[in-house]
Amino acid sequence: SQQGEEDPQALSIQEGENATMNCSYKTSINNLQWYRQNSGRGLVHLILIRSNEREKHSGRLRVTLDTSKKSSSLLITASRAADTASYFCATDASGTYKYIFGTGTRLKVLA
């Protein structure tokens, strides 16, 4: 079964608004990462949160992790048109070098 699942699958907002994406996973993890992908390009690492952390910030990004619910959320504040991309969460199920990615959330920020 899929380790990471993001929701919503697609999100459309106006520039300046906040965007929230959620990720759920099924097994215990060591850490969870969020990546961004612009159309047809490689993924770019955004932020990593360890299993013993509950919240982390990086610029306009805020990530939370609830290991009891096996879920994480990514909040992008004051969104910009340049934030338009697909966002993926990735989890490592067993502390190996194997990360499982979800299907992603497609975010569109309208100028």
Partner 1 sequence: ETGVTQTPRHLVMGMTNKKSLKCEQHLGHNAMYWYKQSAKKPLELMFVYNFKEQTENNSVPSRFSPECPNSSHLFLHLHTLQPEDSALYLCASSDGTSGDNEQFFGPGTRLTVL
- Contact residues toward partner 1 (CB under 8 A) are 2, 4, 30-31, 33, 35, 40-45, 48, 50, 88, 90, 92, 95-104
Least separation in angstroms between residue 15's CB and partner 1 is 27
- Rank residues 14 and 40 by Cβ distance to partner 1 and give the closer one: 40
3-state SS record for 35-96: EEECCCCCEEEEEEEECCCCEEEECCEEEEEECCCCEEEEEECCCCHHHCEEEEEEEECCCC
- For residues 70 and 104, which CB has a smaller minimum distance to partner 1 in the complex? 104
